[in-house]
Structure 1
Amino acid sequence: MDKSSNRKQDIQEMRHLFVILSRQFGILQKESSQCCGVTTVQSHILYEIKHGYHMTLNELAQRLCLDNSTTSRHVHGLVEKEYVVRLPHPEDRRYVTLELSEKGKVLEEEITEMMTTSIMDMFKQLPENRMTSMSTEIKELTEIMRKSDMCCNPPF
């Protein structure tokens, strides 16, 4: 088998692992958000708003790699549940930013705590140095993906 064939097999195996990883992590995220009464996408929105200061709907949509109308629909559901507030700019009322309400901060923290507990449980069998190296490798992978023309490129 030549180098090209080996590389192709390695890439196919990597794709298989990505599919399994995304499915398993997606199930974990779904379980953590659904028990709190929000969808997985809404859970991602809460996370992004928490980590972005005075984020606009457009910025949020870009970060999530969703179109504006889909993002707006999910945000509207969170506004109705009083987890998110829309804040008009004091000088330009057409410019609106998103923030978590106190209720939203509590919910986001609950989801974060559940995810953290689950991830800690998964990795408790790994030695500490392995956890650190795995984290470094995942960071490198996300950077490679971010630089690719074929992947969604949310700003970091």
Structure 2
Amino acid sequence: MENNNLRGLMQMIVRRFGFLNERCCEDCCGDDISLVQSHILYEISRQSSPSMQDVANALGMDITTFSRQVKTLVERDLVKKTPHPNDNRVNLLSLTVKGTATEQNINNEMNKYLNSLFSNLSVFERDTIIRSLDLLEETMKKSESKCCPPR
């Protein structure tokens, strides 16, 4: 496959998944959750009491932009910031009850869509795609590219 075609394929997959996630956030939550905010909620739920810097790094966001997004999520009672017990300069993040429900709603909607999408494939095709995506993700983690640094 030519590199231009490969890049175009990856761009379209990422774009379509981003649009899907964006629409999902609008439709399922009852809240006006942006795509970036949904990623923040997901990452906080994935980690155990992460620091703000940990989540910002995982998402590839600069801390200033990330802090503004977290401030909005705190104001909307979706995220709680707690000073680290050993270092008051560090804030730990957790989801509130409302934040957990919102993240779960987004997760449920995305899973419904993906299950629907994969239902059109054979078991072999589905498993092949999942294995390929796992392999791609592992390869990207190991990459030393300045364009896409490992996280």
- Give TM-score scaled by structure 2 length: 0.91
Cα deviation, residue 43, structure 1: 0.1
CA deviations over 1:85-128 (Å, ceiling 9, x no partner): 00112343222100000110000000000100111111111111
Residue type at the aligned position of 2:122: P
Q: Which has the larger radius of gyration?
A: 1
Of 124, 132, 135, which residue of structure 2 is paired with 1:129?
124
Q: Does 1:119 align with 2:114?
A: yes
1:6 is matched with: none
Cα pair 1:33 1:43 within 8 Å, conserved: yes
Cα pair 1:65 1:152 within 8 Å, conserved: no
2:8 is matched with: 16
Q: Does 1:93 align with 2:96?
A: no
Q: How far apart, in 2, do the equivalents of 1:97 and 1:48 lie?
A: 13
* Percentage of identical aligned residues: 32
Of 43, 49, 58, which residue of structure 1 is paired with 2:44?
49
Q: Does 1:152 align with 2:149?
A: yes
CA deviations over 1:28-61 (Å, ceiling 9, x no partner): 0101112321100000000000011110111111
Query: What secondary structure is seen at the aligned counterpart in 2 of 1:38?
Result: coil
Q: How far apart, in 1, do the equivalents of 2:88 and 2:8 lie?
A: 48
In the alignment, structure 1 segments of 5+ residues that lack a partner are: 1-8
Residue type at the aligned position of 2:23: E
Cα deviation, residue 146, structure 1: 2.0
After TM superposition, what 4+ stretches of structure 1 lie above 6 angstroms from structure 2? none
- Give TM-score scaled by structure 1 length: 0.88
Quickly say closer, same or farther: Cα 1:15–1:42, change in 2 above 3 A.
Answer: same
Cα deviation, residue 10, structure 1: 1.9
Of 139, 142, 146, which residue of structure 1 is paired with 2:137?
142
Question: How many positions carry a matched residue from both structures?
Answer: 146
CA deviations over 1:1-28 (Å, ceiling 9, x no partner): xxxxxxxx52111111011111110100
Q: Does 1:33 align with 2:25?
A: yes
2:68 is matched with: 73
In the alignment, structure 2 segments of 5+ residues that lack a partner are: none
1:60 is matched with: 55
